A = this chain, B = another copy of it.
Amino acid sequence: MTLRETFAANLRRYRKAVGLSQEELALRAQIDRTYVSSLERCQYAATLDVIEKLAAELGVDPVELLATPDIDKLST
């Protein structure tokens, strides 16, 4: 599991947890709609700047988006 894969999975997981579409999240974070899609499909290695933006809109610490999810905490 690479870091960008971990990030991709977490991004999708947190986005859904918050109940946002890729489109809405992108709009709020002021990044491109198709780019969020690309990130979740692990196409790019995101920079710290966009990670920071996305984390802010998801209401989580950027670190959470890179951490290996604790099995116990996963709800749905």
Name A residues whose Cβ lies closer than 8 Å to a Cβ of B: 2-4, 7, 44-49, 51-52, 62-63, 66-67
Contact = CB atoms under 8 A, between A and B. Distances in A.
A66 B52 CA distance: 11
A4 B48 contact: yes
Given A4-B49, A63-B66, 18 more contacts: A2-B48, A2-B49, A2-B52, A3-B48, A3-B51, A3-B52, A3-B62, A4-B48, A7-B48, A44-B47, A45-B48, A45-B49, A46-B47, A46-B48, A47-B47, A63-B63, A63-B67, A66-B66
Contacts of A62: 3, 66
A63 B6 CA distance: 11
